[in-house]
Amino acid sequence: MPSYNCKKCPGYCCSYHIIPVKKSDLKRLAKHFGISFAEAEKKFVTKGDPKDGGEYKIRRKTDEHFGKICRFFDTETRKCSVYEARMYICRAYPTGRCGYYDFLKNERETQGDDEMVASTWNI
Ligand code: SF4
Ligand code: SF4
């Protein structure tokens, strides 16, 4: 049983500066949207460093809580909009425990506010 609950989280992990995308991810995303690989490459990613885990990195968009977030993150519902087609890295993380969720839970308990979005900007 995981010790975190993504449904109660504003999506810290989707706000990483570099979210790697592999070619196989991009193929899956292109298929999901019914567009060509070249179109997906242009719309969804920028060139990445394979050392980060993928040939590409995801494009990001503005977010009220984190400044920037993955372009596929739905900022209204605070959920992934491409869950079935999400990248390998999103499937692999987290394993068992999520440090962000521990932090969020602790902050919410301390503040007595179940809805607060604790900022990570100054830590
Ligand atoms: S930061 Fe952790 S709890 Fe929040 S969405 Fe990501 S994996 Fe889920
Ligand atoms: S694809 Fe979905 S789960 Fe992965 S970083 Fe983007 S919004 Fe988050």
The reported pLDDT for the residue numbered 118 is 86
The reported pLDDT for the residue numbered 121 is 60
Pick the ligand that lies closest to the CA of residue 93: 1
29 Cα–ligand 1 center, Å: 21
The reported pLDDT for the residue numbered 3 is 86
| Bridge partner list, 21 | 56
| Bridge partner list, 68 | 62
Q: Whose CA is nearest to atom 5 of ligand 2?
A: 14
Of 58, 51, 23, whose CA–CA distance to 37 is shortest? 23
Positions of the chain with pLDDT under 50: 122-123
Pick the ligand that lies closest to the CA of residue 83: 2
Of 16, 19, 1, whose CA–CA distance to 100 is shortest? 16
Give the position, in ligand 1's atom list, of the atom nearest the Cα of 11. Answer: 5
Alpha-carbon span 2 to 66, nearest angstrom: 24
Interstrand relation of 67-70 and 73-74 (parallel, antiparallel or unpaired): unpaired
List Cβ neighbours of 97 (8 Å cut-off, separation of 6 or more).
2, 3, 4
Cβ of 53 less than 6 Å from ligand 1? no
Domain boundaries, the chain: 15-95
Cβ of 44 less than 6 Å from ligand 2? no
What is the DSSP-derived secondary structure letter of residue 58?
A: E
Q: Whose CA is nearest to atom 8 of ligand 1?
A: 6
